């Protein structure tokens, strides 16, 4: 027997039971972004590998270990996007959207791909909603991004479930100076570092700061801290962000070890973290990346953004039972028809009802069946009324309207009066 076909490990089907939750989250987020003036951009899922190598940076886990890269039939190296910022910047440059200092406030949503170890909250195909703002150098927009995510948490009922971690990485010069100091400090203690951190000491030393290894963390207690290396402008920028968060009443925790996995950040970095999901607790992460546009060949252009992990947020909403009950909305009306002639009339009647009562959730019985089996399906659909159409009803141009959720009597309603009858009934709740 042939092996049954399966989805790729870490790449999930989102089943019909789950899609309402996804849509609820996406719709809430989209109308919120709309309200803040952010516009959607749709980007390809596949880009030239070079974009990510240059944008995210060699030496990062994402580029070195996690990318799905392949040669196409034309021998060009392509990569399934591991994140959205690089592609967004590429598109902005390609279409001149940031030229002449134009402000752009953009968002995108969709699947991202990383070859990671699949586990709860960590998949190989996962989904992000990302937001990016260009040509705004000040702390006001950093704060705006955080404020709008805070509003989302409040709307979703998650305000008590997440905390904000904040840090500033300073200018790239300040960061470089800090990197040297950190490397010098750790080099002297090289033998005590875990293997991963030893490797990172040459590839991406700042990442050692968020090592999960206890001995490495103990070593870091005496290490130089990034905040001591902040340049004056970055310090002021950071003060500006904090002042705005204070004004908006948003609490935060300064985390000097927050450096983010991707190489392109400078100044503000932040993460929204929950302790309700176990190890994969970051649900939204972002920061400023003033150097990225230049790095990808554009004129120096300030940029700042974040991405949230849709799977983790859906998991969090499910875990905390915060999904509104009305997400799985039952049918309102179920049409039962008996015999070919009645089926034809039922179809026409149903379509007329849909015209007359837009948005009506109406199911027409499919596949025929006895009285008993059709009523069973009507009941299971959750509908409040079954409409019954047999030979007698057809002859009299009426339907039987049978309440399914209370004991009231079945009524016979003329076809022409049916829309009005149902409208009245369904509204009465």
- Which residues contact Mg ion (rule: CB under 5 A)? 261
Exposed (0-12), middle (13-18) or buried (19+): which is 11, by Cβ within 10 Å? middle
Partner from Mg ion, ligand ATP, none contacting 211, C-beta within 5 to 8 A by type: none
- Choice between 303 and 309, CB closer to Mg ion: 309
Identify which range of 101-109, 191-199, 283-291, 395-403 contacts ligand ATP by CB under 6 A: 283-291
Closest approach of ligand ATP to the CB of residue 417, in Å: 54
- DSSP 8-state symbol, 360: -
Q: What CA–CA distance (Å, rounded) separates 82 from 43? A: 13
Q: Which of 168, 171, 211, 282 binds ligand ATP (CB under 6 A)?
A: 282
Q: Is 307 in the site for ligand ATP (CB under 6 A)?
A: yes
- Choice between 264 and 385, CB closer to Mg ion: 264
Identify which range of 35-43, 145-153, 275-283, 391-399 contacts ligand ATP by CB under 6 A: 275-283
Helix ranges (DSSP H) in 325-414: 340-356, 371-380, 391-396
Q: Is 263 in the site for ligand ATP (CB under 6 A)?
A: no
Closest approach of Mg ion to the CB of residue 222, in Å: 27
Closest approach of ligand ATP to the CB of residue 127, in Å: 8
Q: Which residue shows structure tokens 């009922």? A: 157
- Choice between 166 and 285, CB closer to ligand ATP: 285
In terms of Cα–Cα distance, which of 192, 165, 168, 371 is closest to 272? 165
Identify which range of 225-233, 244-252, 279-287, 371-379 contacts ligand ATP by CB under 6 A: 279-287
Identify which range of 116-124, 170-178, 182-190, 382-390 contacts ligand ATP by CB under 6 A: 116-124
Strand order in 125-134's β-sheet?
Answer: 39-40, 104-113, 125-134, 303-309, 282-288, 266-274, 162-168, 253-254
Q: Is 137 in the site for ligand ATP (CB under 6 A)?
A: no
Partner from Mg ion, ligand ATP, none contacting 122, C-beta within 5 to 8 A by type: ligand ATP
Q: What CA–CA distance (Å, rounded) separates 216 from 193? A: 6
Question: What Å distances lie between residue 230 and 103, 209, 368, CA to CA?
Answer: 27, 17, 74
Q: Which residue shows structure tokens 């003329």? A: 414
Q: What CA–CA distance (Å, rounded) separates 103 from 156? A: 29
Query: What DSSP letter does each residue of 178-232 carry, written as one string?
Result: HHHHHHHHHHTTGGGS-HHHHHHHHH-GGGGGG---HHHHHHHTTS--GGGG--H
In terms of Cα–Cα distance, which of 61, 99, 59 is closest to 83? 61
Q: Which of 38, 126, 153, 375 binds ligand ATP (CB under 6 A)?
A: 126
In terms of Cα–Cα distance, which of 117, 79, 62 is closest to 279? 117
Q: Is 175 in the site for ligand ATP (CB under 6 A)?
A: no
Closest approach of ligand ATP to the CB of residue 270, in Å: 10
Q: Which of 67, 92, 285, 357 binds ligand ATP (CB under 6 A)?
A: 285
283 by DSSP, 3-state: which? strand
409 by DSSP, 3-state: which? coil
Q: Is 280 in the site for ligand ATP (CB under 6 A)?
A: yes
Q: Which of 41, 54, 83, 84 binds ligand ATP (CB under 6 A)?
A: 83
Identify which range of 113-121, 249-257, 290-298, 419-427 contacts ligand ATP by CB under 6 A: 113-121
Identify which range of 68-76, 171-179, 276-284, 414-422 contacts ligand ATP by CB under 6 A: 276-284
Closest approach of ligand ATP to the CB of residue 132, in Å: 13
Residues that bind ligand ATP (CB under 6 A): 83, 114, 116, 121-123, 126, 128, 261-262, 280, 282-285, 307, 309, 311-312
């Amino acid at each position: 027997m042939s092996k049954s076909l399966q989805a790729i490990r870490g790449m999930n089907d989102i089943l019909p039971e789950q899609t309402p939750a996804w849509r609820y989250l996406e719709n809430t987020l989209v109308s919120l972004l709309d309200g803040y003036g952010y516009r959607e951009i749709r980007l390809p899922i596949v880009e030239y590998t070079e974009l990510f190598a240059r944008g995210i940076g060699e030496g990062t886990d994402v580029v070195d270990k996690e990318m799905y890269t392949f040669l196409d039939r034309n021998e060009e190296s392509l990569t399934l996007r591991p994140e959205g910022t690089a592609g967004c910047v590429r598109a902005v440059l390609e279409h001149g959207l940031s030229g002449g200092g134009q402000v752009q406030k953009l968002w995108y949503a969709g699947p991202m791909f990383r070859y990671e170890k699949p586990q709860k909250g960590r998949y190989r195909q996962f989904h992000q909603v990302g937001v990016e703002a260009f040509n705004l150098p000040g702390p006001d927009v950093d704060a705006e991004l955080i404020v709008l995510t805070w509003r989302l948490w409040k709307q979703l009922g998650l305000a008590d479930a997440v905390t904000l971690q904040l840090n500033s990485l300073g200018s790239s010069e300040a960061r470089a100076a800090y990197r040297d100091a950190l490397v010098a400090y750790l080099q002297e203690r090289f033998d005590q570092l875990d293997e991963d951190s030893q490797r990172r000491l040459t590839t991406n030393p700042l990442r050692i700061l968020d090592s999960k290894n206890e001995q490495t963390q103990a070593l870091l207690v005496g290490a130089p801290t990034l905040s001591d290396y902040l340049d004056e402008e970055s310090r002021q920028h950071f003060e500006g962000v904090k002042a705005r968060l204070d004004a908006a009443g948003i609490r935060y925790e300064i985390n000097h070890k927050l450096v983010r996995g991707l190489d392109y950040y400078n100044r503000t970095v932040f993460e929204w973290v929950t302790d309700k999901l176990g190890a994969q607790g970051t649900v939204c992460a972002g920061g400023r990346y003033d150097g990225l546009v230049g790095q990808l060949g554009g004129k120096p252009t300030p940029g700042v953004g974040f991405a949230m992990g849709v799977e983790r947020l859906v998991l969090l909403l499910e875990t905390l039972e915060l999904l509104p009950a009305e997400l799985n909305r039952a049918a309102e009306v179920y049409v039962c028809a008996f015999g070919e002639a009645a089926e034809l009339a039922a179809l026409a009647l149903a379509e007329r009802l849909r015209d007359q009562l837009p948005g009506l959730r109406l199911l027409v019985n499919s596949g025929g069946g006895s009285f008993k089996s059709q009523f069973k399906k009507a009941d299971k659909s959750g509908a409040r009324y079954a409409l019954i159409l047999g030979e007698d009803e057809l002859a009299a141009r009426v339907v039987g309207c049978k309440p399914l959720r209370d004991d009231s009597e079945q009524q016979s309603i003329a076809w022409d009066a049916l829309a009005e009858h149902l409208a009245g009934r369904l509204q009465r709740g």
